[in-house]
Each structure stands twice: as C-alpha cells, then as structure tokens.
C-alpha cells in the first residue's frame, strides 16, 4: 500500500437496493459500452465519509468507526430513493458518474455526523493515485478522483452531505431520460457498515473491515 490509503466509510445496502443498482448498471453499460460492472471489487454502496488515512492510522480509524457502530442503531437507517443524478469525475465530455439519490433522512445524517466527528481528525492531506485500489492492468486513478477524496470533508461533509449510490458511467442524456423512472423510487436499509479502500470514480473496491447490521 501507499503511505496513504483512500478510504470510504460506507453502508452496504440490502438486497433490494443491490438488485436495483445492478439493473441500472447493466442498463448504463449497454447504452454506453464502457464503465465498471458491479462485482467482487465494485460494490454498490452509500458513502458516509471519505478521507485519506495514513497506513499507521488504519487501526485507529477502525476503532473510531467501531465506537460509533456500538453506540448507533445502524439498522434503524432507512434510505428512500428520490431519483437519478450525474456528475463528472474525470469522465469524458458528455459522460458522468450516475448515482441514485436518497432523501437525507435524519438517521443517516446523524450517522454521517457521528463518523465525521469520530474519524474526521484522522484525515490526511496529500493523497495520490497510489492510495487507491487497482488491479494489474487497470489504468491509474484519475486526478479528479484523487482531488475529490481530498476535498470530501470540506465540500461534501456536514451540512453538505448528500447520500447517494453510484451505479456506473452514463451518458448525460440517458441520466436525464431516467430521472423520473419508477425504478428510482424504492426504500432500502443497510445490510452492513464497512470501511473500504476506494478505486476510481469513487468505487468501493476492497473491504477492510465490515460490521453486519443487527437484525
């Protein structure tokens, strides 16, 4: 590993949301002919917190997350999908990372804020492409993804936090057509909370620690 690791503290969704993510991902890939497919190293997820952590701080990060999990009923979180959006992240012109947006319900916002308070102090500056997970033969992580993680807390944390589930690369025109699709109206609950190593486009590539949600 690099001296810094690009980390995502996230929710792994239940079967309902996973199935919807996989359905949308297949649709986007059929239309565009490129982009990642969900598999063992590309996991559907809802980000709670992204940061660079020093290798020596990963144990401390896990302990901070564990403390939040022990004090929080993560199983009470409900995620209501509201539609589809897209944002450029080192993507070609006219192509975006598409994401299912969720209502920022009180439970998920409180969980984000608790993790930010507990683990945010471990955030390190100066991340590079080497901090991310890639398999042999894969291209290096884009500079836009590297910068996004660096700025996550300042630009997407606290009051700016917006829960979403990335579902792949898409043409902007297709995202517009799908905004009102009935498949984008569903409720999900978390199956687990996890700390994962990030890949390009904010993909959750490698689970470092996992906390199953109590039934």
Going by C-alpha positions, the residue among 70, 24, 29, 63 that lies closest to residue 195 is 63
CATH number, domain at 10? 3.90.1140.10
Instruction: Tell me: pLDDT of 1 over 50.
Output: no
Residue 33's pLDDT band, with cuts at 50, 70 and 90, is confident
Q: Residue 107's pLDDT is what?
A: 95
- What average pLDDT does the segment 79-90 reach? 93
CB burial readout 140-163, b (16+ within 10 A) else e:
ebbeebbebbbebbeeebeeebeb
Instruction: Provide the number of structural domains found in the chain.
Output: 1
How many angstroms separate the CA atoms of 156 and 149, rounded? Answer: 10
- At 34 the pLDDT is 87
User: What CA–CA distances, in Å, run from 34 to 20, 143, 161, 169?
Assistant: 19, 19, 29, 7
The span from the CA of 75 to the CA of 156, in Å, is 24
Contact 165, 12 (CB under 8 A): no
The band of 44, judged by pLDDT with boundaries at 50, 70 and 90, is very high
**Pairwise CA distance, residues 38 & 206, whole Å:** 13
What does DSSP say about strands 190-198 and 204-212: parallel, antiparallel, or unpaired?
Answer: antiparallel
Structural domain that includes position 8 = 4-212
pLDDT attached to residue 183: 83
pLDDT digits (tens, 9 = 90+) for 121-137: 999 999 999 999 999 99
């Amino acid at each position: 590993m690099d001296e810094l690791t690009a980390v995502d503290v996230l929710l792994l969704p239940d079967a309902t949301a996973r199935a919807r993510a996989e359905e949308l991902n297949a649709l986007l890939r059929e239309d565009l002919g490129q982009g990642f497919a969900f598999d063992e190293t590309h996991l559907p997820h809802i980000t709670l917190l992204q940061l660079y952590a020093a290798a020596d701080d990963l144990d401390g990060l896990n302990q901070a997350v564990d403390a939040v999990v022990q004090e929080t009923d993560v199983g009470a979180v409900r995620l209501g999908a509201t539609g589809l959006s897209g944002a450029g992240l080192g993507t070609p012109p006219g192509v975006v990372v598409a994401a299912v947006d969720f209502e920022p319900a009180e439970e998920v916002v409180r969980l984000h804020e608790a993790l930010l308070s507990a683990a945010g102090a471990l955030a390190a500056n100066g991340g590079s492409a080497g901090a991310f997970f890639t398999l042999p033969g894969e291209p290096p992580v884009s500079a836009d993804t590297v910068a996004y993680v660096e700025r996550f807390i300042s630009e997407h944390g606290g009051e700016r936090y917006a829960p979403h589930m990335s579902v792949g690369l898409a043409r902007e025109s297709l995202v517009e057509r799908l905004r009102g699709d009935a498949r984008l109206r569903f409720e999900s609950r978390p199956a687990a909370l996890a700390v994962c190593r990030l890949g390009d486009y904010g993909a959750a590539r490698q689970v470092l620690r996992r906390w199953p949600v109590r039934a």
